[in-house]
Amino acid sequence: MGKSLAYKILEENLLTGDLKAGNEISVKVNQTLTQDSTGTMVYLQLEAMGIKDIKTDLSVAYIDHNTLQSGFENADDHEFIKSAAAKYGIIFSKPGNGICHQLHLERFGKPGGVLIGSDSHTPTCGGLGMLSIGSGGLDVAVAMARGYYYLKVPKVLNIQLTGKLNPWVSAKDVILYILQKLSVKGGVGYIIEYSGEGVKELSLTDRATITNMGAELGATTSIFPSDDITKDFLTRQGREKDFVPLTADDDAIYDKEIEIDLSDIEPMTAMPHSPDNVVEISRLNKIKIDQVAIGSCTNSSYTDLMKVAKILKGKKVHEDVSLVISPGSSNILKMMSENGALGDLIASGARILEATCGPCIGMGQAPKSNAISLRTFNRNFKGRCGTNSAEVYLVSPETAAVSAITGYLTDPSTFGNMPTVEIPEKFDVYDNYFIYPKENREGLEVIMGPNIKPFPINDSLTDSIGGKVLLKTGDNITTDDIMPSNAKLLPFRSNIPKLSEYCFGTLVDDFHLRAKKYGGGFIIGGENYGQGSSREHAALVPLYLGIKAVFAKSFARIHKANLVNSGIIPFTFKNKEDYELFDEMDEIEVSGVISSLEKNTEIILTNKSKNVSVKLIFEGSKRDVEILKCGGYLNYAKSNTK
């Protein structure tokens, strides 16, 4: 029976467990990456583990998110991460070097390896055939300290690509088209594996755009085969030696298969406020725009930005539009400054930003009130851009550049001939933004500025948990809702008490007060609770506020793992309709929690205010139960090395 590429890589790196969908396994981790907004927690947790050396082949700490430095806080965090990297033997990437995923693709990712990153878009490296999974920071700390990662084996969804892309249609349109078909929940529980003749139509960075936004489908990861296109990319990056050819077996068995003809796809956009709210641009009426933002880990490659520069060359950005461009890496920015493309962008009236996440995470460039903003990014959740009343449309770089000129959302295929971009023979590879670990690391200690506060640790689980429902949410609540991030809040990623004042800030403004008044409590959630980012702050802040469990119709993968790691129980309703039986401020109770979890028997949630009881399910492993009993992973790790 033939194997999928994903299962081949899992098998190659399997440490414990039986490689069958639904089972828990552990795999050897070859590489890890962290970024700064999740990284401070990772390195605090690594410190708490008391290790001397990391166990991975290579780990990199990138600074790319919190780079505005409007006060000392972000700079303190950078210094802390830099000192931790030096102490543990981790490569440090200075701010300005670029976005973690773009840089990792260019410099370190290897076909066939396993990469775990504390960012939900880690699957970007799936574009070069690496099994790359986003996770909470604690799982990355464990991967560095112990060299392994536990996961529930996902099913594999095969997307067969056929046909050729139409002019002006690119990888972003492909993934938006897939989001339109599958929705933000469509990939949950799956690894998405691409195959078919159409794969050859996509450049390496096109593939990375598609695997990057597999995160928006809720998939564990996405992966492309490693072929001549992969070899060519690695060779141009000076890394030919990292190439190995990899594909699925011809008779590979998949859990689900979909065929997509690339020639069916036209320029697409995801309308406000969800990446799966996708339509063909040609079907929309004329929408006047105020801002265009080009960049992010989805669309900031050399090819993407060169296309933008070619479209804008000799043209003028519309007088009502602010065009901002944030390159994916310093190398790209340098090459574009040398080949004249940067000059073309500036001459058109574009605003050039640092090579960082920037506006994608609301780090500056918040648009004006009620603005329409077109972005080549991956998420358009309400408020994420920093302006609550703004409406964000996700588009390809081609659509963004053409629309910046016309002043309204424009189908680029109406714009004449499409520009072609030659990839340079050799990418300009230089190391001046990287700090490599020293041979002798004896005596090095971490440096903690005043902004870095200890993270909360839970108590061990009690057999009966009870209290008030502090909040009831709808479906698809994002971690941006649970723990919003923007230029004002990101400086407090290492200060949980301060962050807690903004918990659920997009939904209500008094969640922290409710939690304080009632001494903690519970949350009732809908489907896909916790979708979006990997930020474990969306679990650590509720933990700090005394949340003991979340009862939801279903959970997003990374957030669910973060809840378990924090000792907060993610329960699902056995019957989804039971969600209706709960309201805010109801008094609820679950008794006999420990024995029910241990014996995997029926768990009953009682709504004392309404005098009803409903059945719950805990969809976790035995190990998860042990972690919850200890009150979270760090407590568990003290007594366990498994």
Residues that bind ligand MIC (CB under 6 A): 37-38, 65, 119-121, 361, 485, 532-535
Which of 38/373 has CB closer to ligand MIC? 38
Contacts of 112 (CB under 8 A, 6+ apart): 9, 12, 129, 130, 226, 244, 246
Contact 63, 35 (CB under 8 A): yes
Q: What is the distance, to the nearest Å, from the Cα of residue 359 to the centroid of all Cα atoms in its chain?
A: 15
Sequence-ordered strand ranges (E) for 183-220: 190-195
Residues that contact ligand SF4, how many (by CB under 6 A): 11
Which of 41/144 has CB closer to ligand MIC? 41
* Distance, CA of 208 to CA of 129 (rounded, Å): 10
Scanning 190-238, the segments in alpha helix (DSSP H) are 204-212, 228-236
Contact 444, 437 (CB under 8 A): no
Q: Is 457 left (phi over 0), alpha (psi -120 to 50) or beta?
A: beta
* Distance, CA of 561 to CA of 379 (rounded, Å): 21
Least distance from ligand SF4 to the Cβ atom of residue 245, Å: 29
The reply on whether position 222 binds ligand SF4 by CB under 6 A is: no
Scanning 470-544, the segments in alpha helix (DSSP H) are 479-482, 496-499, 511-517, 537-544
Least distance from ligand SF4 to the Cβ atom of residue 122, Å: 9
Work out what residue 534 binds among ligand MIC, ligand SF4, none; the CB cut-off runs from 5 to 8 Å by kind.
ligand MIC
Contact 132, 125 (CB under 8 A): yes
Helix/strand/coil for 324: strand
Work out what residue 535 binds among ligand SF4, ligand MIC, none; the CB cut-off runs from 5 to 8 Å by kind.
ligand MIC
Which of 65/146 has CB closer to ligand MIC? 65
The reply on whether position 597 binds ligand SF4 by CB under 6 A is: no
128-147 burial code (b ≥16 CB/10 A, e <16): bbbbbbbbbbbbbbbbbbbb
Which of 556/627 has CB closer to ligand MIC? 556
The closest alpha carbon to 620, from 572, 552, 581, belongs to 572
Scanning 436-484, the segments in alpha helix (DSSP H) are 479-482
Quick note: the x/- pattern for ligand SF4 over 39-78, rule CB under 6 A, is --------------------------x-------------
Least distance from ligand SF4 to the Cβ atom of residue 360, Å: 3
Which of 39/196 has CB closer to ligand SF4? 39
Work out what residue 99 binds among ligand SF4, ligand MIC, none; the CB cut-off runs from 5 to 8 Å by kind.
ligand SF4
Least distance from ligand MIC to the Cβ atom of residue 151, Å: 17
Quick note: the x/- pattern for ligand SF4 over 238-277, rule CB under 6 A, is ----------------------------------------
Which of 297/616 has CB closer to ligand SF4? 297
Instruction: Tokens for 617, please give them.
Output: 């399910």
Least distance from ligand MIC to the Cβ atom of residue 538, Å: 8
Q: Cis ω on the peptide bond leading into residue 273 (within 30° of 0)? A: yes
> DSSP code of 462?
P
Which of 296/607 has CB closer to ligand SF4? 296
Work out what residue 296 binds among ligand SF4, ligand MIC, none; the CB cut-off runs from 5 to 8 Å by kind.
ligand SF4
The reply on whether position 603 binds ligand SF4 by CB under 6 A is: no
The H or E element that residue 104 is part of is helix 100-107
- DSSP per position, 573-629: ESSGGGGGG--TT-EEEE-SHHHHHHHT--EEEEETTTTEEEEEE----HHHHHHHH
The closest alpha carbon to 36, from 95, 122, 96, 111, belongs to 95
Quick note: the x/- pattern for ligand SF4 over 78-107, rule CB under 6 A, is ---------------------x--------
The reply on whether position 321 binds ligand SF4 by CB under 6 A is: no
Least distance from ligand MIC to the Cβ atom of residue 198, Å: 27
Contacts of 525 (CB under 8 A, 6+ apart): 472, 473, 477, 550, 551, 552, 553, 555
Contacts of 12 (CB under 8 A, 6+ apart): 112
* Distance, CA of 159 to CA of 264 (rounded, Å): 15
Tell me the one-letter amino acid at 590.
V
Which of 33/182 has CB closer to ligand SF4? 33
The reply on whether position 536 binds ligand SF4 by CB under 6 A is: no
* Distance, CA of 224 to CA of 214 (rounded, Å): 12
Least distance from ligand SF4 to the Cβ atom of residue 487, Å: 12
What residues between 339 and 368 interact with ligand SF4 by CB under 6 A? 357, 360-361
Least distance from ligand MIC to the Cβ atom of residue 297, Å: 8
The reply on whether position 545 binds ligand SF4 by CB under 6 A is: no
Work out what residue 485 binds among ligand MIC, ligand SF4, none; the CB cut-off runs from 5 to 8 Å by kind.
ligand MIC
Which of 377/522 has CB closer to ligand SF4? 377
Which of 13/378 has CB closer to ligand SF4? 378
Which of 119/276 has CB closer to ligand SF4? 119
What residues between 373 and 412 interact with ligand SF4 by CB under 6 A? 377-378
Which of 210/590 has CB closer to ligand SF4? 210
* Distance, CA of 37 to CA of 327 (rounded, Å): 19
Least distance from ligand MIC to the Cβ atom of residue 89, Å: 23
What residues between 117 and 146 interact with ligand SF4 by CB under 6 A? 119, 121
Which of 524/556 has CB closer to ligand SF4? 556
Work out what residue 38 binds among ligand SF4, ligand MIC, none; the CB cut-off runs from 5 to 8 Å by kind.
ligand MIC
* Distance, CA of 279 to CA of 484 (rounded, Å): 27
Quick note: the x/- pattern for ligand SF4 over 286-315, rule CB under 6 A, is ----------xx------------------
The closest alpha carbon to 512, from 534, 541, 554, belongs to 541
Interface contacts to ligand SF4, rule CB under 6 A = 65, 99, 119, 121, 296-297, 357, 360-361, 377-378
